[in-house]
Amino acid sequence: MIETKKLTKSFDGFLAVDQIDLHVPEGEILVMLGPNGAGKTTTVRMLTSILRPSAGTATIAGYDVIKDAAKVRSIVGVLTEHHGLYARMNAQEYLEFYGELYGLTVEESRARFLPLLEQFALDPYVKKRLGEYSKGMRQKLALIRALINNPPVLLLDEPTSAMDPESSIMVRNAIKSLKREDRTIILCTHNLNEAEELADQIAIIQKGKIIFNNYLNDVKKSLLGNPIFEARFLSEIGDWSPVDFPGVYVIEREKNSIKLEILEPEESNPKLIQVLSHVFNLISFEEKPRRLQDAYLEAVNLNGGKASHVNQP
Amino acid sequence: MGERPVMSTSLNPVFIIAKREIKDQFRDWRIVFPILGLTLFFPFLMNFTATRLLDFVEQYGASIVGERLVPFLFMIVGFFPISVSLVIALESFVGEKERGSIEPLLNTPLKDWQLYVGKLISSIVPPLVGSFLGMSVYTIGLVINHVRLPDASIMIQIIVITIVQAVVMVSGGVVVSSQATSVKAANLLSSFIVIPMALLIQGESIVMFWGNYSTLWWAALGLLILAVLLIRVGLAHFNREELLGREIDVLNFRWGWHTFLNAFTRSAKSLGQWYRLAVWDSLKRLKGSLVITLILVMVGIWVGVRQTQNFGITFNPEDMSQIDDKIRDILNIWPVGKIGPIALIFWQNFRVVLFSLVLGLFSFGILGIIPLFASVGVTGYLMGLLQMNGMPIEQYLAFIVPHGIFEIPAAMIAAAAVFYIGVMLATPNAEITVGEVFIGAVADWCKVMVGVVLPLLLIAAFIEAWITPRIVMLLFS
């Protein structure tokens, strides 16, 4: 659905985006992570045909972002970094205006945005001037604007920034339901929890280059190694070793517990749990959480960068 | 999933943008109050002024002053509300950029021209509505006070001028707004619109008190051409990327100088290479402009010759017989080997070329043709006079041809180079900024000047000072 090949953008000799290759199939969410100024917004602007790539190509649903700019804009919903609302309009006027720009009648617009206003709990404020909205409300309304034309592709630049936790959850749930509707989404965020919750693919961008791009689990696997499991027992385990289990290695052992690196958990775990329960009175067997934050920091550190601009929960 | 049809060719989006903006403006008290004041209070004041002044001047029998004052105030009443249009226009793009609302708009399927024209209309309509209301209030006041209304033709003329002025101000303001990086910068740049408009109003006022109303039609036509050019330039250089990309105002002299130098030298390593790469290339691009200049030169000569019918002078035969004495005087003043006359002639021609550039820079190249047009017009007039007084063609051509072979092509190339600056500005170019276009065009002008025009003018000055008078002397002896 979204495809870029060696997409590059430079401004007066400054390389803002350097030969980015992305492939986001229909119905997937790609989360772009990276410090401020890494090139995320520039990439989004190239995908919406606002910025002209210096080199490389980008297509959305088969449409070239340069040659078919108007077509691309008609099938892409964009949540910009700055919400950019008109303070003297109310929500209804504002959304009707954008609906008209996408060729919708007033009735069609209302049929589209009224349920969304309700979903985002903005329906009581539909006649209130947008200048009086809180930051979170403005952000939610900007998201509704991005959805007004029912676009199959969404480019969301920090959709939950400035939102309270309740609203953030609301928006994340909305993004999940959009994904279920087979929409293709690129989401830029600094929030690693959000990325972990929503992403199919993760692309880590630094100084204009994609330093890592893969599916979420593969990102963790590549950067943090194989999954680690911890088993706790009632009885002491002594010097037991998983010699009969290929691909299972002891990382750390204590009197009543052991940490194991397991290459293929789906294959090894059922039998392993059976053996451990039988021999050592197994109390618990659980995977040690490997956070995206650690994978992100690892990726950035590997590339000699600083990750200080990313919110670390 | 719903994929909506793109309204690419429709005018609908233009009106959607214009409607929203106009509605928004009428919610802004900073726009509504001045328009209301200028629409209601100001015409009332002007009406009061007109009535009192008419009474006053009537006491001294100077009724003509009153007659001229009434249409003049009608124009002023109409002009004041449209001055608000500049404020709106200056804010149109750069204001939205500062508030961050331009990007969502740029993400819609709107075409550049739709957005641009929508903004243009929205900046013109409210002030014009105010202007017409103000004129109506003023006119009603005149009727109530039993003041004789100006002729309908004059009132129509003033309304047309008001509309065209509004379009010029707005189109200029929108160009500035789409190129500026901040509202502050746009306001500072607006002096390039405000000052010429103030001068124009003063000129129009003089014309109105003079009573030569037909001149106003020419002013309206000139303004209309300027408005069309401004809209064309604005559309040609409207660039979504530039609109979002530029963040800070920096006057980068180093960048400007490098851009100029690159365009001027074209990385030539020697003078020969510079002529081949840079000068010849620029001359080739002047082809179209040269054709237009040539046509205007011929028209200028024809107009000049025609003027002998209106302003024909018959020479005194005594003066004609003394012509060789006068030429001999010139030969004494300008002896061969004396550099002074050459410098004088060269400096005079160089000043005309510079004057042409200055005029051209403020008028998209158009007025840059005027010095050449006037020169050939005067030449045509003199040729006509000499022919009228029975001078053989070879004699009066001897006054012009020897140095004219160099001077006339040089003047034509110079005028075409100025005209070409306007052509470059009005030509769409998505690759480079309007600043780069301007610097490139000026560099082209400089190349043509240094490489072709000035050497030709220098040769012409030598011939004019040392050779032409002697050829003329030979023919007259």
Q: How far is A1 from chain B (nearest CA, A)?
A: 14
Binning pLDDT at 50, 70 and 90, where does residue A30 land? very high
Mean pLDDT (chain A, rounded): 86
Instruction: Tell me what pLDDT residue A308 has.
Output: 38
Binning pLDDT at 50, 70 and 90, where does residue B245 land? low
Spatial distance between the Cα atoms of A47 and A66, rounded to a whole number of angstroms: 9
Q: Which of B21, B20, B19, B7 is nearest to B111 (CA)?
A: B7
Instruction: Tell me what pLDDT residue B5 has.
Output: 46
Residues 6+ apart with CB under 8 A from B336: B466
Q: Is the pLDDT of residue A98 over 90?
A: yes
Residues A111, A96 share a domain:
yes
Residues A112, A235 share a domain:
no
Beta bridge partners of A213: A203
Residues A84, A12 share a domain:
yes
Q: What is the pLDDT of residues B406-460, one digit of tens each?
A: 999 999 999 999 988 888 877 777 667 777 888 888 899 999 999 999 999 999 9
Q: What is the pLDDT of residues B370-415, one digit of tens each?
A: 888 888 898 888 888 888 887 777 777 888 888 889 999 999 999 9
Spatial distance between the Cα atoms of A60 and A177, rounded to a whole number of angstroms: 21
Q: What is the pLDDT of residues B319-352, one digit of tens each?
A: 766 766 777 777 777 777 778 888 999 999 999 9
Query: Mean of the pLDDT values across residues A293-303?
Result: 72
Q: What is the pLDDT of residues A9-24, one digit of tens each?
A: 988 778 889 899 999 9
Residues 6+ apart with CB under 8 A from B53: B65, B66, B69
Binning pLDDT at 50, 70 and 90, where does residue A310 land? very low
Determine the residue among B16, B23, B103 to mutate to test chain A binding: the one whose Cβ has the most chain A Cβ atoms within 10 Å: B103
Percentage of the residues of chain A whose pLDDT score is greater than 90 = 31
Cβ contact (<8 Å) for B7 and A11?
no
Cβ contact (<8 Å) for A50 and B106?
yes
Instruction: Tell me what pLDDT residue A58 has.
Output: 93
Spatial distance between the Cα atoms of A186 and A156, rounded to a whole number of angstroms: 6
Residues 6+ apart with CB under 8 A from B464: B345, B402, B403, B407
Cβ contact (<8 Å) for A78 and B16?
no
Give domain status of residue A269, yes or no: yes
Q: Which of the pair, A77 or B341, is modelled with greater confidence?
A: A77
Q: Which residues of A touch B241 (CB under 8 A)?
A: 50-52
Cβ contact (<8 Å) for B6 and A71?
yes
Residues A263, A165 share a domain:
no
Binning pLDDT at 50, 70 and 90, where does residue B3 land? very low
A58: its two tokens: 């980008």
Determine the residue among A65, A83, A86 to mutate to test chain B binding: the one whose Cβ has the most chain B Cβ atoms within 10 Å: A86
Q: How far is B128 from chain A (nearest CA, A)?
A: 23
Cβ contact (<8 Å) for B107 and A51?
no
Q: How far is A62 from chain B (nearest CA, A)?
A: 14
Mean pLDDT (chain B, rounded): 83
Give domain status of residue A313, yes or no: no
Query: Mean of the pLDDT values across residues A48-76?
Result: 90
Cβ contact (<8 Å) for A52 and B110?
no
Q: How far is B2 from chain A (nearest CA, A)?
A: 6
Q: Is the pLDDT of residue A228 over 50?
A: yes
Residues A168, A44 share a domain:
yes
Q: What is the pLDDT of residues A234-252, one digit of tens each?
A: 888 888 888 888 888 888 8
Q: What is the pLDDT of residues B406-418, one digit of tens each?
A: 999 999 999 999 9
Q: How far is A63 from chain B (nearest CA, A)?
A: 13
State which residue of chain A sits closest to B240, comparing Cα positions. A50
Q: How far is A100 from chain B (nearest CA, A)?
A: 7
Instruction: Tell me what pLDDT residue A211 has.
Output: 84
Determine the residue among B32, B106, B108, B432 to mutate to test chain A binding: the one whose Cβ has the most chain A Cβ atoms within 10 Å: B108
Residues A176, A63 share a domain:
yes
Cβ contact (<8 Å) for B1 and A84?
no
Residues A257, A181 share a domain:
no
Which one of A221, A254, A279 terminates a domain? A221
A:B CB pairs within 8 Å: 94
Q: Which residues of B touch A151 (CB under 8 A)?
A: 1
- Least CB-CB distance to A50: which of B13, B17, B240? B240
- Least CB-CB distance to A73: which of B12, B24, B108? B108
B244 inside 8 A of chain A by CB: yes
Q: Are A98 and A106 in contact (CB under 8 A)?
A: no
Beta bridge partners of A260: A229, A250
Q: Is the pLDDT of residue B247 over 60?
A: no
Q: Are A142 and A83 in contact (CB under 8 A)?
A: yes
Residues A173, A83 share a domain:
yes
Q: Which of the pair, B200 or A302, is modelled with greater confidence?
A: B200
Q: 3-state SS string over B128-151?
A: HHHHHHHHHHHHHHHHHCCCCCCC
Q: Which of A313, A225, A223, A294 is nearest to A265 (CA)?
A: A225
Q: Are B93 and B243 in contact (CB under 8 A)?
A: yes
- Helix/strand/coil for B376: helix
Q: Which residues of A touch B12 (CB under 8 A)?
A: 100
Which one of A204, A221, A238 terminates a domain? A221
Give domain status of residue A143, yes or no: yes
Instruction: Tell me what pLDDT residue B249 has.
Output: 56
Give domain status of residue A183, yes or no: yes
Instruction: Tell me what pLDDT residue B320 has.
Output: 66
Task: Give just the sign of the alpha carbon dihedral A40, A43, A45, A48.
Answer: negative
B30 inside 8 A of chain A by CB: no
Q: Is the pLDDT of residue B6 over 70?
A: no
Domain limits at A115?
2-221
Q: How far is B92 from chain A (nearest CA, A)?
A: 13
Instruction: Tell me what pLDDT residue A304 has.
Output: 64
Q: Is the pLDDT of residue B316 over 90?
A: no
Q: Is the pLDDT of residue B178 over 60?
A: yes
Q: Is the pLDDT of residue A99 over 60?
A: yes
ipTM > 0.85, yes or no: no
Query: What count of other Cβ atoms lies within 10 Å of the Cβ of residue B341?
Result: 18
- Least CB-CB distance to A48: which of B7, B101, B107? B107
Q: Is the pLDDT of residue B368 over 90?
A: no
Q: What is the pLDDT of residues B249-297, one digit of tens each?
A: 555 678 788 888 888 888 888 888 888 888 888 888 888 889 999 999 9
Q: Which of the pair, B338 or A87, is modelled with greater confidence?
A: A87
Instruction: Tell me what pLDDT residue B358 has.
Output: 87
**Crossing angle between the packed helical segments B63-91 and B42-59, to the nearest 10 degrees:** 160
Binning pLDDT at 50, 70 and 90, where does residue A312 land? very low
Chain length of chain B: 477
Cβ contact (<8 Å) for B245 and A11?
yes
**Crossing angle between the packed helical segments B112-144 and B42-59, to the nearest 10 degrees:** 40
Give domain status of residue A154, yes or no: yes
Q: Which of the pair, B213 or B274, is modelled with greater confidence?
A: B274
Q: What's the structural domain count of chain A?
A: 2
Give domain status of residue A293, yes or no: no
Residues A178, A235 share a domain:
no
Determine the residue among A26, A54, A92, A101 to mutate to test chain B binding: the one whose Cβ has the most chain B Cβ atoms within 10 Å: A101
Cβ contact (<8 Å) for B244 and A50?
yes
Greatest Cα-to-Cα distance within chain A, rounded to the nearest angstrom: 75
State which residue of chain A sits closest to B115, comparing Cα positions. A101
- Helix/strand/coil for B250: coil
Residues A245, A129 share a domain:
no
Give 3-state DSSP helix, strand, coil % of chain A, rounded to 5: 40, 30, 35
Percentage of the residues of chain A whose pLDDT score is greater than 70 = 96
Cβ contact (<8 Å) for A149 and B244?
no
Query: Mean of the pLDDT values across residues B44-51?
Result: 80
Query: Mean of the pLDDT values across residues A154-164?
Result: 86
Q: In what order do the strands lie in the sheet with A228-233?
A: A248-253, A257-262, A228-233, A282-287
Residues A239, A183 share a domain:
no
B9: its two tokens: 């060719």
Residues A250, A151 share a domain:
no
Q: Which residues of A touch B107 (CB under 8 A)?
A: 48, 50, 73, 76, 78, 80
Give domain status of residue A312, yes or no: no
Give domain status of residue A115, yes or no: yes
Least confident window among A4-13, A219-228, B285-294? A219-228
Q: Is the pLDDT of residue A115 over 70?
A: yes
Cβ contact (<8 Å) for A74 and B4?
yes
Q: How far is B179 from chain A (nearest CA, A)?
A: 16
Q: Which residues of B touch A81 (CB under 8 A)?
A: 103
